[in-house]
Structure formats: structure tokens, C-alpha cells
Copies of this chain bind each other. A is one copy, B any other.
Amino acid sequence: MTERTSPCLSSQLEQSGTALPPPPGRTSNCLRLTRSTPRRPAILPRNCQNCSVLGTPSFCELSPKALRDFDSIGICRHRESHAVLFHEGLPADHLLILCAGRVKVTASSSNGRLFLLRVAVPGDILGLAALHEQTAHRVTAETLSPCTIKSIPRADFIRVMKANPDVSLITALAIAREYQSAFLSARRLALHTSAAGKLASTLLDWARTDDGSRCPTPANLPISFHMQLNQEELGSMAGLSRETVSRLLTRFRREGLVDQSDDRMTLNNPGRLEARYR
């Protein structure tokens, strides 16, 4: 499964070793992780009132009125693994809110190359292209795990946005997160000349956003995260060939910079990784 316990272990605000589950109400600004509590995949929240995607301001934390409005539109669906939510090039008329699970977002070129833009987490918005009318999706979204997804027709979404400031606000923040992710991708692809730099940067960016904390993480503590991608996908995220990724990972492993066990990836010393292969 894709879920995990709260990894914000190094939060400056909580030095005590006991890792408590995030309280359901206000959270400190360092606790903003999007972690859905492990739940049975079968039972889905019928509405947003009882949904608890905590942390970053999410659609689950709207004011009562907005929540009612928001609940009244769209439908919540469950999707199994490896389902395509929408495909690049097809008309975009719905916005999708990811409530649970992970979704791979890719773009492709005419000559068959693939670019993995990001792995969306609960609270993220998919299908942003639908904000504009009569445009086509510029990316393909495909589930990496069983997912719960709320699908909202464009017009409904905009209507509710107009009526509820906080819906617009949350939307703006969600889009800002999308932006952040695209920005980091572009940045690392442009700034790093060496393949090692690209891969290192990809891993670091991912670890930092995946662990949820926006806090500047202490650079010398290991970060561990769930690696849902194979080497080919990782390569298409870093702009590298499959083989290069393989070679580099063994190199990183030999140098003790990363550990891979099962489907977890651990960056033993993020600071050194960053410093050596900038």
C-alpha cells in the first residue's frame, strides 16, 4: 500500500521521540503532511465532511457552508491500480481531486519519449487544464495504487469557486503546489549538467516533498521514502536513460549514499549527496 506513518520525525516543534498521529484539528505549520490514515480501501468517504486528509490546507477543511457546496458537486470514485484517469490530448472538462492513493503524471513527445512530471498525493488537483475552456489535457494521469478520486465538471467547480472564497483559496494553494513540482523538475533538468546531479536532485526533491514537511530538513539525517517507480520511470523523471539510472544507483549504493530495500529508498546523507553531485 501506499500509505505510511507520519515521517516528520525531525520536526523542530516536536523533539519528543513519541510520534503521535496528527491531531484532527489545527496543526502546526510544520506538521503539514498529507497522510491519509491507513484505511480499508473498500469503504470510501461518501463526502468530504468525514474525510481527513490533514495537513496542507485541503478541501476537507473548508468552512461548513463551502463544504456543503463542495460536496454537492462532482462524484467520488474508486479506481484500481494502473488505471488511466485521463489521457494527454483528450478534451479536459473535469477537474479531479485526489483523495487517496498515488497518481503518476506524465507527458509524452511525438517520438515516443516519456516525461514523468510528478507523483501526485492526496489533496492534489489533477486535470488543471480543465480550468480553461476547450483545452486538451497536456498530461496523462495514471494511478500507481488504488485511489479515491473526486471528479468535478469544470462549470460546477468554477461556480463553487465563485461562491466560496475558501474553495478558491484552497484551489490556488493546490495549484501552487503543482507549480512547485513543475518548477523543481524544470530547475533540476536545466541546472544539472551531469547525469549524477540530475538523479541526485530528483531523489532529493522527491524525498523532501514526499515526506510532506515543508520544513528545511536537517541535511545529515537520512530520509526514507516509498519508491513507487522502477528505474525506467525514475529515468523519465530525471531525463535519463534506464541504463544510466541503473549505473548511477549502484554507484550511489557503493558510496553508501543510498540504500534500497524492497520498495523503500533511503538517502543516508542528503547533504553529502547534494554536495557531491550538484
Question: Which residues in A have some Cβ–Cβ distance to B below 8 Å?
Answer: 1-4, 7, 9, 12, 29, 52-55, 107-111, 113, 115, 117, 128, 131-135, 138-139, 153, 155, 158-159, 161-166, 168-169, 171-173, 175-176, 178-179, 182-183, 185-187, 189-193, 214, 236, 239, 278
Please give me the residue from chain B that is nearest to A117 by CB atom: B186
For this complex, 8 residue pairs linking A to B, each with C-beta atoms less than 8 Å apart, are A12-B162, A53-B133, A54-B131, A109-B191, A110-B278, A135-B214, A162-B169, A183-B186
Q: Are B185 and A107 in contact (CB under 8 A)?
A: no
* Oligomeric state, in copies: 2
CB distance from A88 to the nearest CB of B (A): 11
Alpha-carbon separation in the docked complex, A115 to B197 (Å): 15
CB A131 to nearest CB in B, in angstroms, measures 5
Q: Chain B's nearest CB lies how many Å from the CB of A148?
A: 23
A158 to B: closest C-beta gap in Å: 7
Whole-angstrom CA separation of A162 from B185 in the bound complex: 31
